Amino acid sequence: MSDTDATPTISTTVEESTSEREAQSSTGTARAVIESRNLDVRYGDVEALQSIDLRIPDQHVTAIIGPSGCGKSTFLRCINRMNDLVEAATIDGELLFNGTDVYGEEIDPVALRRRIGMVFQHPNPFPKSIYDNVAYGLRIQDITDDMDERVEQALRRAALWDEVKDQLDKSALDLSGGQQQRLCIARAIAVDPDVLLMDEPASALDPIATSKIEDLIEELAEEYTVVIVTHNMQQAARISDKTAVFLTGGELVEFDDTQKIFEDPESDRVEDYITGKFG
């Protein structure tokens, strides 16, 4: 289905939700931009997520932590329907983006992924120039006006402009790993998404590049909702506002303010995980 065929599109859904946004922000409570209700995911016989109920607040950083195989990436990939590409995956329950079920029949996954961008563990720039990487998403949306300005703004917001402004024609593949990852972030935000999903975005980077990405994530949360999967508990504690702890078996055990999770979790299992007793 093309974007123009999708009725209603994700864009109209977002516009319809403005009154909800205003109503909730007036109470001082962040609106949930993503909400899962009773979400179950299986890959064939493997139960990857069990009855996940989670509300991800607007314009904050939410970290998802937990031991290997507990379903963190699966949850992230459900949000923008990347799991559609996995034949064995079956999904039950509800996953709402601005109040609309992203698995609803009327939703176009390509349009959805423009509103919910994704950055992966290993930087994956296209084998094109720095400029063309950032311009890519805009061109496929037929946005051609003010292209130079849009590319510059995305690179600035991704804290990369000063390092690349004199070499925009250079191949993206010639950048360092950390620069490539910031370029991938610039590519994702050039189309002005609402949500950025990040799957261990710094785990392949050295400490200096990691620190730049962490600073950037905190800045991005002023404009976007960021959901980050990380194995690095210090990183989750440093940069996130909310933390969800998934444990083995695909269970969401606790979700709360990050400070509460790390200083005074309700669950003994979460405390054992945080303090390194397992996982």
The binding site for ligand ATP (CB under 6 A) comprises 43, 46, 48, 66, 68-74, 86, 88
Nearest to ligand ATP of 175, 274 (CB atom): 274
CA–CA gap between residue 236 and residue 240 (Å, rounded)? 5
Q: Count how many residues are written for the chain.
A: 279
Q: Do 6 and 107 contact (CB within 8 A), yes or no?
A: yes
Q: 177-190 vs 130-140: helix axis angle to the nearest 10?
A: 20
C-beta of 214: minimal distance to ligand ATP in Å?
A: 19
- CB atoms near residue 176 (< 10 Å): 14
Q: 177-190 vs 207-220: helix axis angle to the nearest 10?
A: 20
C-beta of 73: minimal distance to ligand ATP in Å?
A: 3
C-beta of 41: minimal distance to ligand ATP in Å?
A: 8
Nearest to ligand ATP of 86, 208 (CB atom): 86
Nearest to ligand ATP of 51, 171 (CB atom): 51
Q: Beta strand pairing status for 46-57 and 225-229?
A: unpaired
Which residues are CB-contacts of 242 (< 8 A; sequence separation ≥ 6)? Answer: 56, 57, 60, 61, 62, 63, 255, 256, 257, 258
C-beta of 68: minimal distance to ligand ATP in Å?
A: 3
Nearest to ligand ATP of 72, 182 (CB atom): 72
Nearest to ligand ATP of 48, 209 (CB atom): 48
C-beta of 23: minimal distance to ligand ATP in Å?
A: 34
Nearest to ligand ATP of 218, 251 (CB atom): 251
C-beta of 184: minimal distance to ligand ATP in Å?
A: 18
